[in-house]
């Protein structure tokens, strides 16, 4: 897997016709019940298969470990 998870799990959902894979921190799972319902988390292998098929991946706050101790901030990537 390309991501280092931080006490987080993958969930597969369909939001308004858009297929998505969510990586949600375990402590915030209840906040997403409307999207994922009672679904069980996916394994990393299942998530990797969906990502390779082009399913959109959304990582939520605190769900991944920063690389080399640096905060991951999509708005401020090196040029």
Mean pLDDT of 14-23: 87
Q: Is residue 3 part of a domain?
A: no
Q: Is residue 1 part of a domain?
A: no
Residue 11's pLDDT is: 92
Q: Is residue 12 part of a domain?
A: yes
Tell me: the pLDDT tens digits for 39-79?
Answer: 889 998 999 899 899 998 888 777 766 555 444 444 445 55
Q: Is residue 55 part of a domain?
A: yes
Contact predicate 24/9, CB 8 Å: yes
Q: Is residue 2 part of a domain?
A: no
Q: Is the model more confident about 58 or about 3? A: 58
Please give the Cα distance from 73 to 26 (Å, whole number).
Answer: 21
Total tally of structural domains belonging to the chain:
1
Please give the Cα distance from 39 to 26 (Å, whole number).
Answer: 13
Could you tell me the pLDDT band of residue 31, with boundaries at 50, 70 and 90? Answer: confident
Q: Is residue 25 part of a domain?
A: yes
Range of the domain at 17: 8-76
Residue 61's pLDDT is: 72
């Amino acid at each position: 897997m390309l991501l280092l998870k931080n006490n987080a799990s993958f969930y597969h959902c369909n939001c308004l016709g858009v297929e998505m894979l969510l990586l949600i921190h375990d402590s915030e799972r209840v906040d997403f019940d409307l999207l994922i319902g009672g679904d069980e988390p996916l394994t990393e292998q299942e998530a990797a298969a969906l990502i390779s098929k082009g399913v959109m991946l959304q990582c939520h706050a605190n769900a991944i470990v920063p690389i080399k101790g640096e905060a991951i901030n999509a708005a401020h990537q090196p040029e």
